[in-house]
Chains A and B, each alone.
Chain A
Amino acid sequence: SQKIEQNSEALNIQEGKTATLTCNYTNYSPAYLQWYRQDPGRGPVFLLLIRENEKEKRKERLKVTFDTTLKQSLFHITASQPADSATYLCALYFGNEKLTFGTGTRLTIIP
């Protein structure tokens, strides 16, 4: 069965540095991959989508890469701020109407 792993359960980064989160998957490549932000006690909020034929996507301080050979996506937050502290989820879409979510990485930006 498909397995999605996010590099670490928790990640602490100094303010101003770049935070890099990893999402790895096994078996089949998704049609597209998404990243979401989830704050405690709240539902996920969509951030970025990258398709299987795209290498990189950017949105303001966010950058996502997608390597179908490595079966990996990297999510970068540059010039990180304490307000970026949250749990970040990757989600994969395999064309069966459903999103499959990773376990998430809890990011803390330390002032």
Chain B
Amino acid sequence: GAVVSQHPSWVICKSGTSVKIECRSLDFQATTMFWYRQFPKQSLMLMATSNEGSKATYEQGVEKDKFLINHASLTLSTLTVTSAHPEDSSFYICSASTAVWSTEAFFGQGTRLTVV
């Protein structure tokens, strides 16, 4: 089956610094990648949709200047949390699909971000 690898699986950073999270599709080309955030005991909340070679589409309420998304190739998307604050601490998960209308989403293992 399709594999999506997310790195790192956990990271601790100081308040005010930036953190980059990578999402790679290992055995397929992902035309579309999605970034989610999940707080404890809550559901996945979509942050943004990124299509290879174009700008990401952000959901309402998500600051695009704070959460920088780059989808430079068909196998890699990155999420950079800039000037992180403790309230950005969360579980970040990416998913990838092979086409816009693909019915199955393949998820990475998630990244636990803790900002101290």
Task: Decide whether A and B are members of one complex.
Answer: yes
A residues engaging B (CB < 8 A)?
A: 9, 32, 34, 36, 41-46, 49, 89, 91, 93, 97-104
Looking at the complex, which one of B34, B100, B107 makes contact with A45 (CB distance below 8 Å)?
B107
B residues engaging A (CB < 8 A)?
A: 4, 6, 32, 34, 41-44, 46, 49, 91, 93, 95, 100, 103-110, 112
Chain A binding surface SS class: strand
**A103 vs B41: C-alpha distance when bound (angstroms):** 8
**A89 vs B105: C-alpha distance when bound (angstroms):** 13
Are B103 and A49 in contact, with the CB atoms below 8 A? yes
Are A43 and B112 in contact, with the CB atoms below 8 A? no
Are B43 and A43 in contact, with the CB atoms below 8 A? no
Most central of B105, B106, B110 by chain A CB within 10 Å: B105
Are A101 and B112 in contact, with the CB atoms below 8 A? no
- CB neighbours (8 Å) of A104 from chain B are 43
Given contacts A36-B107, A42-B110, A97-B100, 17 further A-B contacts (CB under 8 A): A9-B41, A34-B104, A34-B105, A41-B112, A43-B93, A43-B109, A44-B107, A46-B107, A89-B43, A97-B32, A98-B34, A98-B49, A99-B105, A101-B44, A102-B43, A103-B42, A104-B43
